[in-house]
């Protein structure tokens, strides 16, 4: 056992380099007001439903922002033909879960406690704001689709990369502010920080703003189909350029802001953030890459302990229903969220989910700050994994 004095000496010895930690400096470049402004910018396109002009305008706007940060962009093009429309409206009313309530949460686990209502709003008149209702009025049409991504090329290992993602499409006749403006803005803010003129990373980072998540992650699937086979190939040979670096991991962000706890017995939700609010990092235990994904999840929990200012993070094993899904049998894949997707969001813990109330004005600074803490977590984790440094 060391004496207290020795411990103090040890701590100062390990603390010294931290003062000079470039990742900490980069995390410090994330700001609440900037994060809010980026979410706000996305909400000008309403619910950004796939297959509409408002969705295409949002893709253009995101691309212009990424370029303005100095992050070079490219697009994935694909075709979307929907299955016959799902006419299911909102799910059941609130009430205590358990046997007789039927379904288990997607991705595994069990519903516990009080469940609130879930489902997708398809009624325009449920949106009380005339202007927003008009903005969201154009219906979706099958056909060509696009998504945008941008890339920070690594210095010593440009041939390897991490993919940081969020989905820019939404639905429900609101502004898709939380689902998933909050994750989209997080990815954009990370692209901004990592694209700083004094920032370099040893490995490559790709910032992906998926489209068509709400219809089954068709953009992520198109990305895998089109670019998966190109991984790690130098092109042209001898150029030192890798159009598609080898995928080391995928970190998805989907619904980052609202952690107000379990519904009350009447199905309503607290107006206040719960005091135990946290970031939920999930991997999928039922996948080929479960061991690697779990390891990645712990790295991000460590990054949260080290770099996030206000909220802790916890790891769960039932990642589901977002764009990291198509990657789970290919590479290490995790998602960061406000709650567990299956047993909590799936049980109605987020009353704005796919509803007209998912608008910027619904959220408090505490909610936005939870999203910012997820940004700090991912920036810390990805900055560490890719060897981020600052040019002197």
Contact region for Zn ion (CB under 5 A) — 48-56, 174-182, 202-210, 266-274?
A: 174-182
CA dist., res. 18 & res. 131, Å (int): 50
User: Which segment (15-23, 29-37, 249-257, 295-303) binds Zn ion by CB under 5 A?
Assistant: 249-257
Q: Could you tell me the sign of the dihedral formed by the alpha carbons of 299, 301, 305, 307, in that order?
A: positive
Q: Is 175 in the site for Zn ion (CB under 5 A)?
A: no
**Which residue, 254 or 350, has its beta carbon nearer to Zn ion?**
254
CB of 329 to Zn ion, least distance (A): 21
Q: How far apart are CA 325 and CA 260, in angstroms?
A: 26
Of the pair 354, 369, the CB lying nearest Zn ion is at: 354
- In the complex with Zn ion, which residue's Cβ is closer, 107 or 158? 107
Token output for 278: 């946290």
Residue selected from 160, 175, 254, 350 as contacting Zn ion according to rule CB under 5 A: 254
The total of other beta-carbon atoms located within 10 Å of residue 1's CB is 5
Structure tokens at 151: 């890339």
Residue 364 CA, chain-centre distance (Å), reads 19
| Least separation in angstroms between CB 183 and Zn ion | 7
Q: Which is nearer to Zn ion, 189 or 323 (CB)?
A: 323
- As measured in angstroms, the least distance from the Cβ of 169 to Zn ion is 9
Of 293 and 352, nearer to Zn ion (C-beta) is: 352
Which stretch in 179-187, 218-226, 312-320, 360-368 sits in contact with Zn ion by CB under 5 A?
179-187
Rounded to an integer, what distance in angstroms lies between the CA atom of residue 239 and that of residue 176? Answer: 42
Give the per-residue contact string, 180-209, with Zn ion (x = CB under 5 A; - = no).
x-----------------------------
C-alpha 227/C-alpha 244 separation (Å) is: 7
Residue among 63 and 254 whose Cβ is closer to Zn ion: 254
179 in contact with Zn ion (CB under 5 A): yes
Positive or negative, the CA dihedral 154, 158, 162, 167 is: positive
Q: Are 328 and 93 in contact (CB under 8 A)?
A: no
Following CA atoms 82, 357, 55, 348 in sequence, which dihedral angle do they give, to the nearest 10 degrees? -40
Q: How far is the CB of 174 from Zn ion (least distance, A)?
A: 13
Interaction site with Zn ion (CB under 5 A): 179-180, 254
């Amino acid at each position: 056992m060391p004496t207290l004095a020795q411990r103090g000496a040890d701590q100062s010895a390990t603390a010294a380099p931290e003062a000079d930690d470039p990742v900490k400096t980069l995390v410090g470049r994330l700001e609440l007001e900037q994060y809010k402004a980026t979410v706000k910018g996305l909400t000008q396109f309403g619910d950004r439903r796939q297959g509409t002009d408002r969705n295409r305008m949002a893709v253009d706007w995101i691309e212009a922002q990424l370029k303005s940060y100095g992050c070079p962009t490219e697009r994935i093009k694909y075709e979307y033909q929907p299955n016959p429309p799902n006419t299911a409206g909102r799910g059941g009313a609130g009430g205590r879960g358990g046997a007789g309530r039927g379904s288990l949460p997607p991705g595994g686990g069990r519903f516990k406690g009080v469940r609130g209502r879930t489902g997708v709003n398809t009624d325009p008149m449920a949106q009380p704001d005339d202007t927003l209702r008009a903005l969201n009025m154009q219906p979706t049409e099958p056909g060509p689709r696009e998504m945008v991504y941008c890339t920070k090329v690594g210095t010593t290992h440009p041939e390897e990369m991490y993919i940081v993602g969020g989905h820019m499409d939404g639905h429900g006749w609101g502004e898709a502010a939380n689902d998933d403006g909050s994750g989209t803005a997080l990815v954009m803010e990370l692209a901004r920080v990592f694209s700083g003129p004094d920032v370099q990373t040893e490995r490559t980072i790709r910032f992906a703003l998926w489209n068509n998540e709400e219809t089954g992650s068709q953009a992520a699937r198109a990305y895998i189909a089109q670019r998966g086979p190109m991984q790690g190939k130098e092109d042209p040979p001898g150029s030192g350029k890798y159009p598609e670096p080898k995928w080391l991991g995928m970190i998805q962000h989907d619904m980052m802001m609202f952690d107000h706890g379990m519904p009350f017995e009447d199905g309503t939700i607290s107006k206040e953030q719960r005091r135990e609010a946290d970031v939920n990092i999930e991997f999928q235990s039922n996948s080929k890459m479960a061991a690697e994904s779990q390891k990645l999840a712990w790295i991000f929990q460590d990054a949260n302990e080290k770099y996030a200012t206000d909220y802790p993070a916890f790891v769960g094993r039932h990642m589901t229903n977002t764009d990291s899904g198509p990657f789970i049998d290919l590479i290490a894949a995790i998602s960061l969220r406000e709650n567990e997707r299956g047993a909590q969001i799936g049980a109605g813990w987020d009353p704005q989910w796919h509803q007209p109330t998912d608008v910027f004005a619904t959220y408090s600074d505490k909610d936005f700050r939870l999203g910012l803490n997820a940004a700090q977590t991912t920036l810390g984790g990805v900055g560490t994994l890719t060897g981020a440094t600052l040019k002197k």
